[in-house]
Structure 1
């Protein structure tokens, strides 16, 4: 009986020795399992012998499998990358010791049609004496500046290149907070970089030139210097915005808050160029203050929503139609405001609660269109017909 136990122990020890020293390193077991169960992924072990000893590493025998989210990330990147370009703007500065010295700024852009039109930010190419575009296939082309819209920080370029792949433009009116987004660009000159996040807010902000960007898309997708002018994409790879600036907190790099111009603003810019050869943005020519229930109660307004007209621009559309601005100075915190003006509650039947609502209405019209503006003057409800003027840099 004891002899059987001894033989059994010797058999187990010998089997373990053969298994660990010969069959596992050679992959014999892995090959047998793989042939017996072809659908089962099996990891193998590779042995490397050298002067520092023996190294046994586990390696995957199966190709990597991506989950549905990873696969969608990959699809968005592959679909969009051929349309994203690097934009280099060269200016000549004068150095006291070296004389004229070329200086370069870099940003991103994206192709919108087969004719070589490219959208980017105005601040990417501003003051550039030579604009160069580098495609994803590394071919470089000199770009012509077709037109710029400084007030919305937009620029349209054009190159002469074959076989271009344009992006697909979405309707940014339908975007919502919480929606997944992707940013593709060239941060710090690192070409073809994609980051991912969500839309964290929709708000009006001041752009790089100080002009207001209505309905700006706030995102936590990492955006850094060099991303400017690049596309912000939805989960289908369609462009919903143009990445334009970051909240850097003085560090000149992403702090988790970036802003994009809604693509509908850029589409209106391109549509104007196609129709008229220049930008013809419609304007109501008013400076307004959004009203909520608390402010409405304090001021004794007839409605607890809308935008209060602080000022009408001289000679503008609102003044011609008879809208009235504020006549009394007041303060909201430390900010001076003018109260006593008309309260706009709807335009063409669409409720107006913020300046973004006004911007949405403007984006759906053209200069010269006539809209019906519903206001409260004191507690009297009035409808006025306003013929929209053509926005100018002075007005914005």
Structure 2
């Protein structure tokens, strides 16, 4: 009888052990989604190694490597990443999720939006394109997942939510990147160029920047919306660059303190700093600044036209004008309302294609 009780007790312990193990292995629906997305999407995420040449004190060439991430976007081997990941690279190498390494070549870049496309000549069976979603349908609070190669560690998954939409930050070339997705999913150096995914495993953004006092993630990351990439990528693949309209003038914001100092009739607008000779603005008669003043510890060029409206849209600051022009096409004509010598007048400018050596 005693042996029988011991046997029953041991069976109970074994069954209890299996029960505990089963409970430990049970996944929540959210965890299952994380696992499924990683398994489905990670083969499409690559590590991008760029080699740039720097010079030491004696002007000797020193190769320096940088690491970023990217997404395979088609069966031809095109990889979408950030412009800053591959900028000035003399050599590019892509490592696929299964470990194979492939030399890559640059196809096209758009520094204004910090996007680039590179290409590898890998067999089709190694290329697993990631589907693109629709960033127009995103909502604050929506779950997102980021896959990339932080600090060169290899494929890493982090999760979070969309913290905000419509954020704007400056690109490295000074243009405004608009409508960025803000997320608290951990994004660190090396994640740049990797995908931000929705819970369906679709690309909704391209991770591009963080705000951090330490250089590592503090929960404020930004991704370029995928709809921007869908608009730009075909041009990058077709011709290597993006066509932008160009007015041929540089502007700066007019603020109330400056307006009062200059005794202007308006307090806000876009002040024309200079006009490119022979450009659209020059041909239309727009005038740039002709004197320098110092205010707020800034050296400013003043005396040029002040733009207060473009077509039927009010211009409160320089970025309002820049954004409106960027949304037009070469050949379009825009009407500017300008303040010149105390009088308002209309100036019509026919936009041209921006020369590739000019950013604004």
TM-score, normalised on structure 2? 0.74
* Residue number in structure 2 paired with 1:231: 195
Deviation at 1:226, TM superposition (A): 0.9
Q: Which residue of 2 aligns with 1:66?
A: 28
1:27–1:329 CA distance, 2 compared to 1 (3 A): farther
Residue number in structure 2 paired with 1:382: 346
Which range moves more in the overlay, 384-393 or 223-232? 384-393
Alignment of 1:200-215 (within 5 A): 200=164, 202-207=167-172, 210-215=173-178
The CA deviation at 1:157 is 1.0
Query: Which residue does 1:105 correspond to in 2?
Result: 66
Report the equivalent of 2:208: 244
Please say if residues 120 and 156 of structure 1, whose CA atoms lie closer than 8 Å, have aligned partners that are also in contact.
yes
Q: Does 1:393 align with 2:354?
A: no
Counterpart residue number, 1:309: 272
Q: Provide the rounded CA distance (Å) in 1 between the counterparts of 2:293 and 2:286.
A: 20
What's the RMSD between the two structures over aligned residues? 4.3
Deviations 1:142-193 (A, max 9, x none): 2122233455543321112314232334565676776654332100122222
In structure 2, the partner of 1:131 is: 92
Whether 1:156 aligns to 2:121 is no
Identify which of structures 1 and 2 has the higher relative contact order when contacts are C-alpha pairs closer than 8 Å and 6+ apart: 2
Deviations 1:88-146 (A, max 9, x none): 234678999xx998653221111222211112223323444432212223332221222
Q: Do the aligned partners of 1:121 and 1:155 also contact (CA within 8 Å) in 2?
A: yes
Q: 2-side partners of 1:75 and 1:330: how far apart?
A: 60
Q: CA deviation at 1:259?
A: 3.9
Give the whole-Å Cα distance in 2 for the aligned partners of 1:285 and 1:151: 17
Alignment of 1:10-159 (within 5 A): 26-27=11-12, 44-45=16-17, 58-61=20-23, 64-67=26-29, 69-70=30-31, 72-74=33-35, 76-90=37-51, 103-150=64-111, 152-159=113-120
Task: Indicate the larger mover: 110-119 or 226-235.
Answer: 226-235
Q: SS state of the match for residue 143, structure 1?
A: strand
Q: Could you state the TM-score of these two structures normalised by the residue count of structure 1? A: 0.68
Structure-2 separation of matches of 1:269 and 1:26: 65
Aligned twin of 1:343: 307
Alignment-derived partner of residue 187 in structure 1: 150
- Alignment match of 1:280 (pick from 231, 243, 254): 243
Change (3 A) 1:202 1:291: farther
- Distance in 2 of aligned mates of 1:324 and 1:350: 21
Higher gyration radius (CA): 1
Q: Note the alpha carbon deviations across 1:34-83, whole angstroms, 9 max, x for none.
A: xxxxxxxxxx347xxxxxxxxxx95444862424x555545544443232
CA change 1:315–1:166 in 2 (3 A) is: farther
| Distance change in 2, residues 1:269/1:312 (3 Å) | farther
Q: Partners of 1:65 and 1:75 in 2: how far apart?
A: 12
1:372 to 312, 334, 347: 334
Corresponding position of 1:6: none
| CA pair 76-60 structure 1, distance change in 2 beyond 3 A | closer
Give the aligned partner of residue 162 of structure 2. Answer: 198
* 8 Å contact from structure 1 (residues 181, 199) kept in 2: no
2:130 alignment partner in structure 1: 167
Structure 1 residues not aligned, in runs of 5+: 1-17, 32-43, 47-56
Closer/same/farther in 2, CA of residues 336 and 127 from structure 1, 3 Å limit = closer
Checking the alignment, whether the CA contact within 8 Å between 2:140 and 2:161 is kept in structure 1 is: no
Question: Residue 203 and residue 152 in structure 1: after superposition, are their counterparts in 2 closer, same or farther (change >3 A)?
Answer: closer
The Cα shift of 1:215 comes to 1.6
CA 1:239 to 1:279, structure 2 compared with 1: closer, same or farther past 3 Å? Answer: same
User: Residues 78, 350 of structure 1: CA spacing in aligned structure 2 closer, same or farther, 3 A cutoff?
Assistant: farther
Aligned pair count? Answer: 347
